[in-house]
Amino acid sequence: MSILNKIGFRLSGFRQVPLADALFSLPEIGYDAVEICLEHPDLNPDNPSSVKTDELKSLLEEANLDVSAVSFHGKKADWEEKVRKCRIGIKMASDLGTDCFISGSRIEVDDDEFDGMCAFTIQMCKQTSDHGIYFAVEPEPGTLIDGTEEMEALISKVGSEYLKVNLDIGHSFLTEDDVCADIQHWGERIAHIHIEDMKSGLHRHLIPGEGDLEFGGIFSALERIEYNGYLTIDLFDIIDQPAKHARSALTALRRYIDEYNEK
């Protein structure tokens, strides 16, 4: 399968849809994979009736849906909650057969926040190493790990081969001078990709074609670094009609892929 045809969808967009309904809708739309998000109420470890991993695995098998990654961002969670939920998520990722667990940094930044992020990341890399999977941090505007500069500082401080990057293409477009150069910069350090459109200067995840990204150049950059993971569409503010938006996003992204392949 071409790397540009391995397309997933991030489950958080379906957070007001029952888990089983969300999972079965994605392959019907045409998706190959799903990013499992612990922010979904049916997977929240603090929910006594949350779906357990064995049941989740059965649902995924019945839906014929792969897992692109498992994630818990926890931007507003304290460090204790982040550690606790990420440990659960890392074990889930291993049990589901994916090699990538994704998290992010906190929104509230104070003087000792970077040290806290480093300590947290070291703990998570130790756990992922025990399971033979990667811990991918997502740079995001408005959080401690805002972009490439901050991510490089974290990598330097942590010093683990298990620390990777979840590169959100829209975030890179907002924070870096050249998103294609940023893809090239990270190269093999990229464990997973989020993709969507963005308008310049506005952090809002959009359906491809509704923003200012030039997807042909992005696809070319991904092929140059021989990225072989999933392109996982990340649309967050779609709780009113998630299936409709997921379908529109897939149709649009595939159109750009077809145009790229025809050149």
Task: Choose between 4 and 157: higher pLDDT.
Answer: 157
pLDDT tens for each residue of 106-143: 996 776 799 999 999 999 999 999 999 999 999 999 99
pLDDT tens for each residue of 64-112: 999 999 999 999 999 999 999 999 999 999 999 999 999 999 996 776 7
Answer for the pair 4, 231: CB distance below 8 angstroms, yes or no.
yes
Residue 3 confidence (pLDDT) above 60: no
| 158-184 CB burial, b ≥16 within 10 A, e <16 | bebebbbbbbbbbbbbbbbeebbebbe
Q: What is the distance between the alpha carbons of residues 226 and 240, in angstroms, rounded to a whole number?
A: 36
- DSSP readout, 82-128? HHHHHHHHHHHHHHHT-SEEEE---S---TTHHHHHHHHHHHHHHHH
- For the chain, the structural domain boundaries read 3-262
Instruction: Categorize the per-residue pLDDT at 1 as very low, low, confident or very high, splitting at 50, 70 and 90.
Output: very low
Task: Choose between 2 and 175: higher pLDDT.
Answer: 175
Whole-number pLDDT of residue 236: 87
How many residues are given for the chain?
Answer: 263
CATH superfamily of 3-262: Divalent-metal-dependent TIM barrel enzymes (3.20.20.150)
Q: What is the distance between the alpha carbons of residues 162 and 150, in angstroms, rounded to a whole number?
A: 18
Residue 2 confidence (pLDDT) above 70: no
